Amino acid sequence: MSSCIFCRIAAGEAPADVVYQDDRAVALRDRHPRAPVHILVIPRRHIANLLALLDEDEALVGHLLGVANRVARDAGVAESGFRVVANVNRDAGQSVDHLHFHVLGGRPMGWPPG
Ligand code: AMP
């Protein structure tokens, strides 16, 4: 069994509140939400973070962002606004080493992020 929690969720081996899935991506609610809507969009395949993407992953990244749009619309925050965030490595606060896009919405957000 993989030690990566997001690989285990994608494989159905760990519990998650999944809001969307297809053959390449899974979207699940963050277990410690930082906004009224806080959904994580992950690839099924293990990719450590944005830096680990290969040239051939271009279409996959486009697909993941399409899923981000979709879950934002489904959650009702497309019109009010939402933020898509990918934390990469220590200074950005990446805590799970499996690529994920945070989709945050449902409240006004400050800029720049802390
Ligand atoms: P990051 O800090 O950018 O790597 O984001 C990782 C996110 O994953 C955090 O917001 C965590 O709350 C969330 N997280 C970690 N484990 C789980 C889990 N098992 N189910 C849902 N969200 C998780």
CA distances from 109 to 5, 17, 76, 104 (A): 28, 24, 16, 9
All structural domains of the chain: 5-105 (3.30.428.10)
Question: 71-99: buried (b, 16+ CB within 10 Å) or exposed (e) per residue?
Answer: bbeebebeeeebeeeebeeeeeebeeebb
So what's the pLDDT on residue 14?
98
The verdict on pTM exceeding 0.75 is yes
pLDDT mean values, one per 10 residues, the chain (114 residues): 94 98 98 98 98 98 98 98 98 98 98 92
Q: From the CA of 5, give the closest atom in ligand 1.
A: 19
Residue of 6, 30, 90, 100 best suited for mutating to test ligand 1, as the one with most atoms within 8 Å of CB: 30
